[in-house]
Amino acid sequence: MRLRRDTADTAVFRITEARQGLDDDVRGRQRRYIISMLVRTVAVLLTFVLWDVSRPLAIVALVLGTVLPYVAVVIANAGRENVPSLPSTFLGDEAKRALPPGKSDLHNRS
């Protein structure tokens, strides 16, 4: 026998602005670093292949192969993404009380 579950009583909360998990963040940064190092390797190899064919293009590939490691390290070490806005942990003056003031609060005000 199968029981039917009422879905109207079940509240589902969706977290849309949660940070990415630390493992996923590190894995993504490692992937970007490896891809940029592969591009750098191809640029250095193109420098040797194109040196006698097209010297200006070979120099562009050499500059790319020289600059890309610095850029890749800066991007890989940039850290986690910034959260657009965190909820405030402090209640402001506009916070409403859940209960009306008690008798002791009324006597202390006068």
**CB 61 within 8 Å of CB 43:** yes
pLDDT score at 32: 86
pLDDT digit string (tens) for 26-61?
888 888 889 888 989 999 999 999 999 999 999 999
Q: How far is CA 27 from CA 16, 33, 53, 70, 78, in A?
A: 21, 10, 39, 19, 14
Structure-block tokens of residue 79:
């850290």
Contacts of 9 (CB under 8 A, 6+ apart): none
Whole-prediction pTM: 0.53
**CB 50 within 8 Å of CB 58:** yes
> How many angstroms separate the CA atoms of 25 and 35, rounded?
16
Distance from the Cα of residue 30 to its chain's centroid? 14
Among 16, 65, 9, 15, residue whose Cα is nearest residue 40: 65
